[in-house]
Amino acid sequence: MAVEGSEEDERRSSSPPAPLFAAKDHDVHFEPEAYLNGFYTAATNDGAMTLVLFFLPGILYRLPDKIDNILDLGAGPTVYIPIAFRHRADAIYTSDYALANRTTLTEWIQAKKDSFDWTNVCKWIQSIEASRESSEAMQQLARSKMRAVLEVNVHKPDVVQGVHFSTSAEPVPKQFHVVSTVFCLEYASETLDQYEMAVASAVSLIRPGGYLLQGGVLHATEYSFGNRRFRCFTLTQEVLLATLEKNGMCVDSKSSGFKIIHNDDIFILVSQKK
């Protein structure tokens, strides 16, 4: 994730600054292709993504072996969560705020020919899992678990605004065994009030005793890709933990219900709903 102050920003300082959009403009200005090409063509394209992808397979072992259902909240155009959960989850839901991302997610589920190539990310996940599946087999298994692509907005009391695409006649669960949300809650927000609302929204989608898998960045003021920038909420570790606790999530690192991994300003955590 190219965040303000990074080396990449310094390299770009001689060219005119990319336009800076508000967090709420993700639905209009997010470009799935530029995002995927910028961060996911190789798992090592971006330090933040590398870290999340590196720790993800390991942190999954903090979750139950068998997960009834998982929702990836604010997945953008990405499918690494379904791929990483393919053996553990019975049913996988994905979601985003931007129509362009929901369309990209649907095209991947439908295995459309021109979809983004996830092979490098699959190989990276596979190397950490030490599994022997082909990238195609990994994606096919993940696709077979997909139930729906949802329209979501973490700033609305009804977070799930609609069903964009569904593979199942089953109604969408009101709450999920696991909700994952990576680089979303602080990027969907600009103020503390908005961030607190976003966290409360994410937690409202978790059933009692269920889990939140959250990844994100601390201390950023914006992020950039494809010649555009988006403002974000400047998250601190204190606010991260206090907001989870306020919403009834475990933040006690001595308990089995909480684990956080940091590297510089990037974090990934699992927290259980009390």
- Choose the stretch contacting ligand SAM; rule: CB under 6 A; options: 62-70, 91-99, 105-113, 205-213: 91-99
Contact with ligand SAM (CB under 6 A) among 89, 121, 184, 268: 184
Q: Which is nearer to ligand SAM, 82 or 257 (CB)?
A: 82
Which residue among 98, 146, 179, 218 contacts ligand SAM (CB under 6 A)?
98
143 vs 151 by CB, closer to ligand SAM:
151
Q: Which of 93, 124, 165, 187 binds ligand SAM (CB under 6 A)?
A: 187
176 binds ligand SAM (CB under 6 A): no
- By CB under 6 A, what part of segment 17-46 binds ligand SAM? 23, 26, 30
Is residue 171 within 8 A of residue 139, CB to CB? The reply is no
Q: In whole angstroms, give the CA distance from residue 184 to residue 214.
A: 9
Under rule CB under 6 A, residue 125 binds ligand SAM: no
Rule CB under 6 A: choose which of 54, 55, 93, 97 binds ligand SAM.
97
Minimum CB separation of residue 32 from ligand SAM in Å reads 8
93 binds ligand SAM (CB under 6 A): no
- Min dist. Cβ of residue 139 to ligand SAM (A): 17
- 155 lines the binding site for ligand SAM (CB under 6 A): yes
Say whether residue 182 binds ligand SAM (CB under 6 A). Answer: yes
Neighbouring CB atoms inside 10 A of 245's CB total 15
Considering the complex, what minimum distance in angstroms separates the CB of residue 255 from ligand SAM? Answer: 26
**Shortest distance in whole angstroms from residue 29 CB to ligand SAM:** 10
**Which position among 116, 183, 195, 258 is part of the footprint of ligand SAM (CB under 6 A)?**
183
Contact between 214 and ligand SAM per CB under 6 A: no
Strands 206-217 and 266-272: antiparallel
Give the total of residues touching ligand SAM (CB under 6 A): 20
Closest residue to ligand SAM: CB criterion: 76
DSSP string across the chain = -EETTSHHHHHGGGSPPPPEE-GGGHHHH--HHHHHHHHSSSTTSSHHHHHHHHHHHHHGGGS-SSEEEEEETT-TT--HHHHHTTTTEEEEEEEESSHHHHHHHHHHHTT-TTS---HHHHHHHHHHHT----HHHHHHHHHHHEEEEEEE-TTSSS-EEEEEEES-SSPPPSSEEEEEEES-TTTS-SSHHHHHHHHHHHHHTEEEEEEEEEEEESS-SEEEETTEEEE-----HHHHHHHHHHTTB---TTSTTEEEEEETTEEEEEEEB-
Q: Residue 258 pairs with which residues in a beta bridge?
A: 271
Which residues would be at the binding site for ligand SAM (CB under 6 A)? 23, 26, 30, 74-76, 78, 96-98, 101, 152-155, 182-184, 187-188
